[in-house]
Amino acid sequence: MIAVLTHLLREVLTMRFSFVFLFLMSAFGALTYNAGAQQAVVTSPNQKIAVSCITPARQDDGLWSLKIDYKKGDRITQAIPAIELGLVLNGMDFSLGLRLVKVTKPVVITDKYAVPHGKKLERNNSANQVTMSFENRSKKKLNVIVRAYNDGVTFRYELDEKQGNYIVNDELTAYSITPETNRWLEKWNPANEGLYVNMSNDKVRQDEWCYPALFSTRDSSCWFLLHESDVNKNYCGTKLSNTAEKSKYKLTFPNPKDGRGTGEPLPAVTLPWRSPWRVIIMGSLADVVGSTLVDDVAAPSKVANTDWIKPGLVSWNYWSDNHGTRDFKTVCAFADLAAAMGWPYTLLDWEWDAMTNGGNLQDALKYIHSRGVKPLMWYNSGGDHTWVGATPKDRMLTHENRVAEFKRLKEWGVKGVKIDFFESEKQSMIQYYLDILEDAASFEIMVYFHGCIVPRGWARTYPHLMTYEAVRGAEWYNNGPEFTTSAPEHNTILPFTRNIVGAMDYTPVTFTNSQFPHITSYGHEMALSVLFESGLQHLADRPEGYYGLPDAARHFLRNVPVAWHDLKLLDGYPGKDVTLARKRDHSWYIGGISSEGREKRKNIKLDFLEQGVKYRLTLITDGKHDKELITAYSVVDNKASINVKMLRRGGFVAVVTPL
């Protein structure tokens, strides 16, 4: 044992990445520490990520914190120098004067599970976990559970007393970020539909910010994304704020004015209690894009039988005609579009209860079913939390109303609901979201949230939650001229930010213009069908936009999957360009776009293909102008590469299928 300890000490002194504390705990079991104890460290299974618990400089008036280091090769990057910890409840203060009294022996967490839709249908992740127990001046206990995964770090608070009811007045979690760290943040708005701003050094703004937030360290060897997961009925959603201190992003509770002032902004908790997971996805940019960590730490599925959950493409009449569902003939035209393209669904958006011009709702449902297409229907979330009066407004609001409506929808053959205008992340609204999901599961109704929260891992727990909006999507071409110029750059940021943490219904792939025009090429629009992942992918253009495409492009959009077995980031940088490959069964679909105002060429290596296998490549690229597409066919293997020309704000798609 003396020889082992001597070797470990030598490792620490020579700045190697083997952290002594983890091995000591493995050898001796749980340890108890006094106020002057050394820092505790837990490392990821691949030894690339280390989380240290740091003693405050002044024990009586300082906050404990976590520090995260990242190792690539021989280089160690201090990714996050401090994450301050603490909670303040009415009657219990876990901020100042805490004492670390115990650190558990590390436990290996391994999780394998399958999902019916998402960026990876089979999930597998593992972590090393420790629980750090603190005691406040009143001898009350607070546990901090920390996990180090190969693709990031998660931690949560735990109060394990058997009973008690409290209000959480503040959560003190705060991420310190060095000024030179590059960052992409979206200013807070209740619908999560803003644009991302890229900042560093003296350009860093002070404000409240949405999740997720992307950061790149100075040497670009380490990227990380801040988010949260497993938000349940016992807490509220949070956001990030650096208004008090420019370099510190503190978790903050909802604004009291959100949801028109309905609901309490401070969460009420009943002991025993655990907070949501605080999630830091970390690694190379490709590691961050490929991570499923937000889902991995969410609660397992509560739906035993998922055979009825069917992801798919959807025709949608709202983008091209704001009042499309009010017109029976328009509804029929979009049902015909879905049938012609082989898409399983069409959405009846708002105003289905005011349908005229040849038929009503029942006529429309009958016609849709006659075309072999399945209907989805829109609902207002209702209640005083939203000012929007669009009807029907009360049918999702209570358990009794939902049960009655879901029963009708089941009888009518409606497969899913789109529920809109939530406008708050207060605890009462979180409870409302989850009540809807629980009732919908009882009637095998799929759910799509719109005007809503960013994903928090719920699609694992409730796999019939197919997608969320929570993004500035193509609908914004109808809201003013701004999106025409901002969309190309915005589209290249979303695969690195919002879409990492869960399904995102941008309503992509539009070739004609709505109220305000595109400046993206047809190739760019085609690529969004691969770049953007959504369990229900609403393709938003009018029928002639798809009927007028060349045969190869139309065939591609008939068959592009919406649920995937794997993905790889092949190239890209937020705000400039992105190329992603997604795998379905044995085929790979590739999409790439550029935001730049000049023509550019990309050389895409196919070394991710299986060795020794020949593949048929169909490549659809920009033509001579932005409304032309060119198709080329070839046979390739994993030694080949694709040379692609993209017009300004252009793009391309490809499908690679084994011969």
CA dist 338 → 21, 57, 347, 360, 542 (Å): 59, 64, 10, 20, 11
Residue 517, preceding bond cis, omega within 30 degrees?
no
Q: What is the pLDDT of residues 152-205, one digit of tens each?
A: 999 999 999 999 999 999 999 999 999 999 999 999 999 999 999 999 999 999
Residues contacting 311, CB < 8 A, separation 6+: 116, 117, 466, 535, 536, 562, 563
Per-residue model confidence (pLDDT) at position 212: 98
* 23 has pLDDT over 70: no
Dihedral angle sign, alpha carbons of residues 432, 438, 443, 447: positive
The upper half-sphere exposure of residue 305, i.e. CA atoms within 13 Å in the direction of its Cβ, equals 6
Do 224 and 80 touch, CB atoms closer than 8 A? Answer: yes
3-state SS, one letter per residue, for 203-264: HCCCCEECCCEEEECCCCCCEEEEEEECCCCCCCCCEEECCCCCCEEEEECCCCCHHHHCCC
Per-residue model confidence (pLDDT) at position 219: 84
Do 95 and 172 touch, CB atoms closer than 8 A? Answer: yes
Which amino acid, 148? A
Per-residue model confidence (pLDDT) at position 34: 35
Per-residue model confidence (pLDDT) at position 56: 85
Phi (first) and psi of residue 640, to 5 degrees: -85, 170
* 238 has pLDDT over 90: yes
What string of DSSP letters covers 71-92? EETTEEEEEEEEEE--EEETTE
3-state SS, one letter per residue, for 347-358: EECCCHHHCECC
Q: What is the pLDDT of residues 33-51, one digit of tens each?
A: 333 444 689 999 999 999 9
CA dist 273 → 128, 165, 168, 252, 644 (Å): 22, 10, 12, 19, 53
What's the distance, Cα to Cα, between the start and end of the chain in Å? 58
CA dist 635 → 420, 613, 616, 621, 654 (Å): 46, 10, 5, 17, 13
* 26 has pLDDT over 50: no
pLDDT band at 62 (very low <50, low <70, confident <90, very high): confident
- As a whole number of angstroms, the distance between CA 644 and CA 622 comes to 9
- As a whole number of angstroms, the distance between CA 58 and CA 61 comes to 6
DSSP state of 105: P
Q: What is the pLDDT of residues 369-410, one digit of tens each?
A: 999 999 999 999 999 999 999 999 999 999 999 999 999 999
Per-residue model confidence (pLDDT) at position 57: 75
Mean pLDDT of 220-243: 97
CA dist 256 → 136, 170, 188, 276, 356 (Å): 29, 14, 14, 21, 41
Q: What is the pLDDT of residues 516-534, one digit of tens each?
A: 999 999 999 999 999 999 9
Phi (first) and psi of residue 548, to 5 degrees: -85, 0
Q: What is the pLDDT of residues 503-516, one digit of tens each?
A: 999 999 999 999 99
Mean pLDDT of 252-263: 97
Residue position matching structure tokens 């085609």: 526
Distance of CA 533 to the CA centre of its chain: 10
Per-residue model confidence (pLDDT) at position 409: 98
Q: Which of 14-18, 224-228, 263-267 has the lowest mean pLDDT?
A: 14-18
Do 493 and 526 touch, CB atoms closer than 8 A? Answer: no
* 267 has pLDDT over 60: yes
Query: H or E element: which one contains 281?
Result: strand 277-283
∠ CA 174-177-181, nearest 5°, is 155
* 567 has pLDDT over 50: yes
* 6 has pLDDT over 50: no
pLDDT band at 59 (very low <50, low <70, confident <90, very high): low
Q: Locate 287 and state its tokens.
A: 């590691």
Please, what is the average pLDDT of the chain? 93
Phi/psi-derived region of residue 267, left when phi > 0, alpha when psi is between -120 and 50, beta in every other case: beta
Mean pLDDT of 445-462: 98
Phi (first) and psi of residue 620, to 5 degrees: -115, 115
Per-residue model confidence (pLDDT) at position 40: 86
pLDDT band at 5 (very low <50, low <70, confident <90, very high): very low
* 30 has pLDDT over 60: no
Phi (first) and psi of residue 619, to 5 degrees: -120, 125
DSSP state of 489: H
Do 415 and 443 touch, CB atoms closer than 8 A? Answer: no
Q: In order of start, what are the domains of the chain with their CATH numbers?
A: 28-296 (2.70.98.10), 310-331+344-470 (3.20.20.70), 474-497+507-659 (3.20.20.70)
- Residues constituting the chain: 659
- As a whole number of angstroms, the distance between CA 371 and CA 331 comes to 12
Q: What is the pLDDT of residues 116-154, one digit of tens each?
A: 999 999 999 999 999 999 999 999 999 999 999 999 999
